[in-house]
Structure 1
Amino acid sequence: MATVNEKLQSSSIGHAVDLQHLSNAEVRKVMALLNRADEDLRGRLLAAVERMGPNRFTVTYMNTVLESVRELNKQVYDQAGEVLKASVDELAPYEIGYQQALFAATLPAQVLIAVPLARIDLAQVQKIASSRPFQGKLLGEWMDDLEVGRAARIRDAIRTGMVNGQTTDQIVRDIMGIKSEGYADGLLNRSRNDIDAMVRTAISHTAQGARDAFYQANSDLIAGVGWHSTLDGHTSGPCRIRDGKQYTNDTHQPVGHDIPWLAGPGRIHWRCRSTSTPIIKAWEELGLSKEDMPPGTRASMDGQVPDSTTYGEWIKGQSAKRQDEVLGPARGKLMREGGLSLDKFYNDQGKTLTLDQLRERDAASFAKAGL
């Protein structure tokens, strides 16, 4: 029978996976705003570059002509910032509610009677994303910087193109990229990568901040927190070395090692996918007696830190339905019936391979799974 701490660790891994899916959805939402503005941006760029012409080009004139481009760029990033702020404002109280429900469902009734769960000030937690910096800046500051950076890239590309004698179409194509290529070949693709990283980091920063608040409010129950980062075979070095390490709940001091917590899981670097897992005190530490709890319940409340479980180990132990929810039906079947291990779903940069790429790599597994 799994202990309370083992159950909490398994649930924390599953929840981290769900938060990654949430991050994917939020990135798609913000990218959709950029995509909808692309045609308008292309038209304004074409008009601006045409107005300048090779014989009228000066930096001062260019800045005047590009005013409409800058206005559109600011408008799009303002909209993206509003969408993301609304999402993280909703996420913080959701995360508190999730932790509250998880603890209520996992901890024995005798424990919850003796040490009731603390109430959290949701209004205060809701301010985590907007009032606490991540990667050195607040959410609003990051949005402003990304907007200014993209405007500067557009300006510099036009300067370079005009000086090098490029045509209007060449300049705009270099900036925007080609639609059929998903604009991946354009200069502005870097802006897309930047906002992708910022959105994902904002989500993990907010969720971890809410967890920290919940854990610290319930310090009577929680002995410490564990760092969990082994989500797949492509975990970053700083997270890999911290995986499974234990820290104090209040000040996050290392326990049994000397590797610092720094900003904490989910915030230690861009796109960090690490999470924390609570370590519940043993029943004796909670002041409970043998008479308070039956033997099986006492055994589940041993206070031991479970061995760190990798994402690959976790997903194998889930139901077929849950595997399909996380991986998709085809990949779930490939793992169960085709014999593919989780690491086979990624390339050497940690990017998820498409089903066509997987089929090209290992047609035999598809045949074995009947796909």
Structure 2
Amino acid sequence: MNNQELQQAIVDALTQHNSYLQRLSSHAVNEILGQLDGLSLEMLNQLRNLLEDLTEAELTALSGAKYTTPQLKEVQSILDTWQQSLMVSLPEVFVVSAVALAAYEASYIYRLAGKKPPRLNGEKLYKSASKTPYAGGHLLDYIFPGIAADLRKKVEYVLRDGIANGQTNQQIIQRIKGRKALNYQDGLLNQTRNIIDAEVRTARAHISSNTYLETWQALGFEYTKDVATLDFRTTSVCMSRDGRVQKIGAGHQATPYHYRCRTNQVGCDKDGDISGLRPFVASDKRVKDIPKDQRDGIIGQVEANTSYKEWFARQDADHQRSVLGDARYKLYKDGKYSIDKFVDPLSGRKFTIAELREMDEQTFRNVGL
């Protein structure tokens, strides 16, 4: 398979492959959440029993973060043990599936290239990814210690606040755990579940991206091209970077660019040309949420080198306005702003309207903003 055929195979396959990876990530997330729930429920049961035995003076001391009596020190010990358990157990569950993912992703690219994979070491690939920052500076080894420390702190906040406001022990526990009638969606723990979901999916995308990058190099590519998802759920930073060609090496920016990033990087030559087609979804809905009898013209394909900027320019005004917002849409249409002008090219941060006005006051006057 030559480079162009390989690139087309990648563009075709990664869309379908990403769906498969999302299912794998859901499984990995659920395993970690199961561990979080088990350890947390055990802690809450112990905490509930201890709270029942505390005197008014001890509750007052606890509300002031004073662990002065043996009973209060036991409360502190339970929280310490729980936090430490989360810091140890959650990464252990994560790493098992992450190592397998790294090895699988490398072999996947080799198979697409029509080449027999070399002997792949998933642990080595994972360690490489763990040394590389992603999504604004995150590192894999700091995910779960940070989550555990933050959750511990918030639980202590709820304890102190609940005692200070005269809540019963049951009400305090419910604030942490959530109410069964609401499927525990209203509890503090559920906020952490959502954080873990986003963190794990983004971390796994980073592992895939880092593995792809090393595999592209092993296959002889010197450049990568950003291939964002052509739909209305794509973020501003990925819109602006779609089609960007970068030389692999120092200064190369790798995906994921943000939480839940869906942009891939394809190995390419210096000109960045890719043969074939790439899919699009002219909607802010997921494909599965678009009725089959309403997909004509909404789901399709365009030439592979069509950038997000070019594809977006072909969409109708209502959709463009819904993505950009009124002020940016007016700048886009009347001020001749391209969509990449709304984003800081270095950081990927979306400029505020005030910042855009400061940078280009004359255009704002010309379009009446």
Q: TM-score range by the shorter chain?
A: 0.5 to 0.7
User: Is the Cα–Cα contact under 8 Å of residues 243 and 308 in structure 1 kept in the other structure?
Assistant: no
1:235/1:51 CA distance change after superposition, 3 Å: farther
Contact conserved, 2:158 with 2:176, CA < 8 A, in 1?
yes
Distance 1:117 1:98, change over 3 A: closer
The equivalent position to 1:82 in structure 2, one of 92, 115, 132, is: 92
Aligned to 2:80: 70
Q: 1:28 deviation in Å?
A: 1.3
Q: Is the 8 A contact 1:42 1:172 kept in 2?
A: yes
Correspondence for 2:130: 130
**Map 1:312-327 → 2, pairs under 5 A:** 312=281
Residue deviations 1:335-368, cap 9 Å, x none?
Answer: 43465857xxxxx99xxxxxxxxxxxxxxxxxxx
- Match in the other structure for 1:323: none
CA distance in 2, matches of 1:209, 1:241: 21
Q: Please tell me the residue identity of whatever aligns with 1:65.
A: V
Preserved CA contact (<8 Å) 1:174 1:187 = yes
Distance in 2, Cα, partners of 1:178 & 1:163: 21
CA-CA distance at 1:278 after TM superposition: 2.2
Q: Could you report, residue by residue, the CA deviation over 1:181-201 in whole angstroms, capped at 9, with x for unpaired residues?
A: 232211222222221122112
The answer on whether the counterparts of 2:175 and 2:188 sit within 8 Å (CA) in structure 1 is yes
Secondary structure at the counterpart of residue 203 of structure 2:
helix
Supply the distance in 2 between the matched residues of 1:251 and 1:44 (Cα, whole angstroms): 51
Alignment pair present for 1:11 and 2:13: yes
Q: CA deviation at 1:307?
A: 7.5
2:203 alignment partner in structure 1: 202
Report 1 or 2 for greater relative contact order, CA contacts < 8 Å, sequence distance ≥ 6.
1
Distance in 1 between residues matched to 2:22 and 2:280, nearest whole Å? 13
- What is the TM-score with the length of structure 2 in the denominator? 0.67
The residue number in structure 2 matching 1:224 is 223
**Structure 2 alignment gaps of length 5 or more:** 300-321, 324-369
Counterparts in 2 of 1:244 and 1:21: CA distance versus 1, 3 Å: farther
Q: Does 1:270 find its partner at 2:259?
A: yes
Q: Is the contact made by 2:83 and 2:152 (CA closer than 8 Å) also made in structure 1?
A: yes
| Aligned residue type for 1:81 | P
Matches within 5 A, 1:263-302: 264-266=254-256, 268-279=257-268
Change in Cα spacing, 1:117 to 1:160, as seen in structure 2 (3 Å) is closer
Alignment of 1:9-88 (within 5 A): 9-57=11-59, 58=61, 59-61=65-67, 62=72, 64-88=74-98
Change (3 A) 1:281 1:186: same
Q: Which residue of 2 aligns with 1:320?
A: none
* 8 Å CA contact 1:226, 1:278 repeated in 2: yes
> Helix, strand or coil for the counterpart of 2:278?
coil
Task: Report the Cα offset of residue 243 of structure 1.
Answer: 1.8
1:60 shift after superposition: 2.4
**SS at 2:281's partner residue?**
helix
Q: Which runs of 5+ in 1 are unaligned?
A: 106-115, 253-260, 283-302, 314-325, 343-347, 350-371
For 1:126 and 1:179, locate their aligned partners in 2 and report how far apart those are by CA, in whole Å.
Answer: 38
Q: 2:292 is aligned with what amino acid?
A: R
Aligned twin of 1:99: 109
Q: How does 1:145-164 map to 2 (within 5 A)?
A: 145-164=146-165
Could you tell which deviates more after superposition, 222-231 or 22-31? 222-231
Letter in structure 2 aligned against 1:218: L
Q: Which amino acid aligns with 1:275?
A: N
How many positions carry a matched residue from both structures? 286
Q: Letter of the aligned partner of 1:19 in structure 2?
A: L
The separation in 1 between residues aligned to 2:246 and 2:139, in whole angstroms, is: 26
Partner of 1:359: none
Looking at structure 2, the residues matched to 244 and 179 of structure 1 have their Cα atoms a distance apart, in angstroms, of 48
